[in-house]
Amino acid sequence: MRMITQFIDGERRSFPSVRLTPVFEPNTGQVQAHLEHADATTVAQAVAVAKAAQPAWSRNSPQHRAQVMFRFKALLETHQQELAAIMSSEHGKLIDDSLGELRRGLDVVDLVCGVPHLQKGEYTKGAGPGVDVYSIREALGVVAGITPFNFPAMIPLWMMAPAIAVGNAFVLKPSSRTPSASMRLAELALEAGVPAGIFNVVHGDQVAGEAITGHPDIKAVSFVGSTVVAKAVYARGAGAGKRMQCMGGAKNHGVVLPDADLDQVVQDALAGAFGSAGQRCMAMPVLVVVGEKTAEDLRKRLVGAIANLRVGGAPDRAAQMGPVVTGEHKRKVEGYIQLAIDEGADVVVDGRGRSLPGSEEGFFLWPTLIDNTTTTMRSYQEEIFGPVLQIVRAETFEEALSYPSSHHQGNAVSIFTRSGDMAQRFVEQVAVGMVGVNFPMPVPVSYHSFGGWKDSAFGDLNQYGEDSIRFFTRTKLVTQRWPSENTIVR
Ligand code: NAD
Q: Is the pLDDT of residue 490 over 60?
A: no
Q: How far apart are CA 436 and CA 442, in angstroms?
A: 5
Instruction: Indicate the pLDDT class of residue 489, thresholds 50, 70 and 90.
Output: low
Q: What is the pLDDT of residues 6-57, one digit of tens each?
A: 999 999 999 977 899 999 999 999 999 999 999 999 999 999 999 999 999 9
Contact indicator for 142, 50 with CB cutoff of 8 Å: yes
246 has catalytic annotation: no
Determine the distance separating the centroid of ligand 1 and the alpha carbon of 176, expressed in angstroms.
10
Residue 334, pLDDT score:
98
Q: How far apart are CA 224 and CA 383, in angstroms?
A: 15
Domains of the chain with bracketed CATH: 2-248+456-478 (3.40.605.10), 253-437 (3.40.309.10)
Residue 486, pLDDT score:
63
Relative to the CA of 226, which ligand 1 atom is closest? 32
Of 281, 284, 413, 467, the residue with max ligand 1 atoms within 8 A of its CB, to mutate for a pocket test, comes to 281
Backbone angles phi, psi at 401, to 5 degrees: -65, -35
Contact indicator for 248, 231 with CB cutoff of 8 Å: yes
The end-to-end CA distance of the chain, in Å, is 80
Per cent of the chain over pLDDT 70 is: 99
Measuring from atom 13 of ligand 1, which residue has the nearest CA?
206
Average pLDDT, stretch 326-344?
Answer: 98
- DSSP codes of every residue in 220-245: EEEEES-HHHHHHHHHHHHHTT-EEE
Q: What is the pTM of this model?
A: 0.97
Q: Is 173 in the pocket of ligand 1 (CB under 6 A)?
A: yes
Relative to the CA of 229, which ligand 1 atom is closest? 2
Residue 315, pLDDT score:
78
Contact indicator for 156, 174 with CB cutoff of 8 Å: yes
Angle between the N-to-C axes of helices 154-165 and 180-192, in degrees from 0 to 180, rounded to the nearest 10: 30
Q: Is the pLDDT of residue 488 over 70?
A: no
Measuring from atom 40 of ligand 1, which residue has the nearest CA?
247
Q: Is 164 in the pocket of ligand 1 (CB under 6 A)?
A: no
Per cent of the chain over pLDDT 90 is: 96
Of the residues 169, 246, 265, 281, only one is catalytic, namely 281
Q: How far apart are CA 139 and CA 112, in angstroms?
A: 14
Determine the distance separating the centroid of ligand 1 and the alpha carbon of 330, expressed in angstroms.
17
Determine the distance separating the centroid of ligand 1 and the alpha carbon of 74, expressed in angstroms.
29
Relative to the CA of 450, which ligand 1 atom is closest? 40
Q: Is 283 exposed, middle or buried (0-12, 13-18, 19+ CB in 10 A)?
A: buried
Residue 314, pLDDT score:
79
Determine the distance separating the centroid of ligand 1 and the alpha carbon of 246, expressed in angstroms.
9
Instruction: State the chain's mean pLDDT as an integer.
Output: 97
Average pLDDT, stretch 141-145?
Answer: 98
Q: What is the pLDDT of residues 419-452, one digit of tens each?
A: 999 999 999 999 999 999 999 999 999 999 999 9
Backbone angles phi, psi at 397, to 5 degrees: -55, -45
Residue 484, pLDDT score:
75
